[in-house]
Structure 1
């Protein structure tokens, strides 16, 4: 039977939403491995909107669910509908949306909180002992999702790693092509564009993460 995997997106675009390459690589690898995928996103306004050509903030406001639908080709649901009972695993791609819309890590660092609907959905997978994959900056949510002592990676950035440690996470340095696994919590993380200089580099770690998350659904 094909595994069912939920993917939580955070908008559309590296600077204010989901990193598009990371999201597409994740969805592609899941499809290549025969998984059934459903995308979700919170039905909230983005923290702000960035012009990806100029890098400047712009108006009007945009909705995270509506913008995420661009990546999901319209096949997306409100994260409030996400229940671990209906899926075998959960994956969160990165992009600043994970640190601005799924949480406020970008502005508050180690004092951040996670968007309540996203947190409830993710913790339902923890309660069900089902695997979770966190990509790029998404491991910033790990300590809130799993609690203190969870092991994860964002790559090599010492300042960001220090903020994760402040929240109670155990950070492990990791190269772009590798993954870090926390067997106790069934959590897999990879740096992706925290380190990647190309889409191929990002894919090298993301593909390993997807493969390992799927393997963990059998354990």
Structure 2
């Protein structure tokens, strides 16, 4: 029987949604691993929309679920309708959407809060001892939701973000772009990806290791 692995998306585009390279690599490596992929995203408006050509804010509204459907080719579920009983594992690609839409860590740092449905699913997954993977900046949102469990994560080597993670109750480990950190107690796997970069070739190695580790833990 195929293992069902959820992919929690946060929009479409690195500066206001999911980092597309990280999301697509996650989907590719899950497919290669023989997993059944369940894409999902919260049905909510983005707090901001960024022009990815000039990096300036745009005066328009976009919906996270609708934008995430671009990456999932329309095969996506409303996060509110997904529970831990539906999947065997969960992976959160990075991009600013993970810290703007899934939580507000990008705006509030260690005082951040997590979107209620995101927090619910993460707590359900942890309570069921089902593995969770988080890529790039997504570990910050993961720690924000699970800080009381003192999860061990990596976002690479950025001192400011690492300090925020520690303030929220997490334990940060410095890690290379092609490596992963495994918190065996909490069943959490993280990798820095574009927190270190610099290229898609570089981030692919760590993401492949993370995906394979999550699938093996399902």
- The question of whether the paired residues in 2 share the 8 Å contact of 1:16 and 1:97 is answered with yes
- SS of the residue 1:58 aligns to: coil
CA distance in 2, matches of 1:110, 1:144: 8
CA distance in 1, matches of 2:131, 2:161: 24
Q: Which deviates more, 90-99 or 140-149?
A: 140-149
Query: Is 1:113 aligned to residue 133 of structure 2?
Result: no
Give matches, 1:1-219, under 5 Å: 1-148=1-148, 149-217=150-218
RMSD, aligned α-carbons: 0.8
TM-aligned CA deviation for residue 174 of structure 1: 0.3
- The question of whether the paired residues in 1 share the 8 Å contact of 2:112 and 2:144 is answered with no
Deviations 1:82-116 (A, max 9, x none): 11111110000000000000000001001101000
Deviations 1:52-86 (A, max 9, x none): 00110002110000000000000111100111111
Equivalenced residues, count = 217
Q: Which deviates more, 129-138 or 140-149?
A: 140-149
- SS of the residue 2:39 aligns to: strand
CA distance in 1, matches of 2:48, 2:142: 23
TM-score by length of 1: 0.97
- SS of the residue 2:30 aligns to: helix
CA distance in 2, matches of 1:36, 1:170: 31
CA distance in 2, matches of 1:150, 1:128: 15
- SS of the residue 1:57 aligns to: coil
- The question of whether the paired residues in 2 share the 8 Å contact of 1:14 and 1:96 is answered with yes
CA distance in 2, matches of 1:184, 1:147: 14
TM-aligned CA deviation for residue 150 of structure 1: 1.0
Over 2 Å off, 4+ runs: 142-148
- The question of whether the paired residues in 1 share the 8 Å contact of 2:93 and 2:138 is answered with yes
Q: Which deviates more, 94-103 or 148-157?
A: 148-157
